[in-house]
Amino acid sequence: MSPFILALDQGTTSSRAIVFDREGSVVAAAQKEFGQLFPRPGWVEHDPLELWSTQSGVAQEAITRAGLRAGDIAAIGITNQRETVVVWDRRTGQPVHNAVVWQDRRTAQTCDALRAQGYEATFQAKTGLVLDAYFSGTKVAWILDHVPGARERAERGELAFGTVDSWLVYNLTGGARHLTDVTNASRTLMFDIHSGDWDDELLALLNVPRALLPEVRSSSEVYGETAEGLFGRRIPIAGIAGDQQAATFGQACLERGMAKNTYGTGCFMLMNTAAEAVPSRHQLLTTVAWQLGGERTYALEGSVFVAGAVVQWLRDGLGIIRESREVEALATSVESSGGVFLVPAFVGLGAPYWDPYARGTLVGLTRGTTAAHIARAALESIAFQSAELLGAMRQDGGGELRELRVDGGASLNNLMMQFQADILGVPVVRPRVTETTALGAAYLAGLAVGYWSGQEEIARQWRAERTFEPRMDADEREHRLGRWRRAVERSRAWEEAGG
């Protein structure tokens, strides 16, 4: 057995590749940022060819940095930004349009129209998702409707649609495979998470031809091999999961009621609900966590659109810090936020509100308010939003949380993690290996080729680096959450009300 696993982590702002050993430790890594395209306000695109070139480049670089050759890699696992859409020519591999990114809001009115026609309950019952431009389905239809000749070519079977995992697999295999895994399929608004197949009624409502769609496979199996000449030797591609599901697996949240929160550009909390697809009454998402063999595991998910991005705003928008890492020291220089609340609804609000017309709001300002108070309120906003997600999960019957496992860039901020524990009322645990998204993809690939024996071995590998115990009493917690909710109400429907 070859001694290493390669994980490809294709994110929203960069492509990364990490080589892991049998203990789940990082051997070598490489990363490259790529361009962000904003053709119009609210539109976000990527160049699919740049996604592929950066990802294939860092894959080779990571192998080289580890001092390895392709023959030393037992398998490749893929994890990716999830709802981003690519449509390409099956024969030539040329994209017909830029990738339309998950953050893109151009199809919000399409979703509004479907909602007005009474279809929201249909979509939610079958897909577990809310009817929102965040997801892939309306983006696919937009490309077909706005690229001359694309719809006719799609109906003739000449074009292929895929989320980013499909695009990578197509290129890795030299065009031999057009497939996706169940976790990515479950984010498209076109996939029935109960039957495990594309749904004809949903496809008809979205006006997307079935001929365009990839085959749906489990999250851990050998899908094919890399093309001859790509790495010098063929390597099995054996694991795929969308980034948040991969992070949940990498955090070893393998039993019902276990949950993780990833603090990135946005914030994503997933709670394992085992074999039960728990329907949400509080606008959370019911999604596929992973599928191993014929066994599908589900999760409740809450999405916060702006988390780490609020720190970037402090840096780039307000100019009160020069580098993101300065925010903790600035926020720690005051004992509290001084009654200031920042609701970072810069692109609307995600769960549990799903209000695309909300806008950022800063309340509680006095003459005594300083940049430090605003910085502290910004960090606290990330924790408050996450607390609302957990509250909704509890109300939906996802299970009682014993601890929250955390990862992502902001999880390294001790002040914020302590406040997160305080406002949740449960311990927050940071793992020793924080590259959990890539690690989850590596685990899924390794299981498929027998590199790891099973989920029990993976669970044993997880180790805590630090645990933050809650210190805030219940009355203070409820008081602060109550004021946060008042601030949120002031941010809601602003764009709609103010034009």
* Residue 223 annotated as binding site: no
* Residue 263 annotated as binding site: no
Q: Which two tokens stand for residue 351?
A: 């769960």
* Residue 312 annotated as binding site: yes
* Residue 83 annotated as binding site: yes
* Residue 381 annotated as binding site: no
* Residue 13 annotated as binding site: yes
* Residue 134 annotated as binding site: yes
* Residue 81 annotated as binding site: no
* Residue 244 annotated as binding site: yes
* Residue 399 annotated as binding site: no
| Residue indicated by tokens 């199996």 | 221
SS3 readout for the chain: CCCEEEEEEECCCEEEEEEECCCCCEEEEEEEECCCECCCCCCCEECHHHHHHHHHHHHHHHHHHCCCCHHHEEEEEEEECCCCEEEEECCCCCECCCEECCCCCCCHHHHHHHHHCCCHHHHHHHHCCCCCCCCCHHHHHHHHHHCCCHHHHHHCCCEEEEEHHHHHHHHHCCCCCCEEEHHHHCCCCCEECCCCEECHHHHHHHCCCHHHCCEEECCEEEEEECCCCCCCCCCEEEEEEEHHHHHHHHCCCCCCCCEEEEECCCEEEEEEEECCCCCCCCCCEEEEEEEECCEEEEEEEEEECCCHHHHHHHHHHHCCCCCHHHHHHHHHCCCCCCCCEEECCECEECCCCCECCCCCEEECCCCCCCHHHHHHHHHHHHHHHHHHHHHHHHHCCCCCCCCEEEECHHHHCHHHHHHHHHHHCCCEEEECCCCHHHHHHHHHHHHHCCCCCCHHHHHHHCCEEEEECCCCCHHHHHHHHHHHHHHHHHHCCHHHHHC
* Residue 308 annotated as binding site: yes
* Residue 302 annotated as binding site: no
Residue ranges at the known binding site for ADP: 12, 16, 265, 308, 409, 413
Residue ranges at the known binding site for glycerol: 82-83, 134, 243-244
Residue ranges at the known binding site: 12-14, 16, 82-83, 134, 243-244, 265, 308, 312, 409, 413
Residue ranges at the known binding site for ATP: 12-14, 265, 308, 312, 409
Residue ranges at the known binding site for sn-glycerol 3-phosphate: 12, 82-83, 134, 243
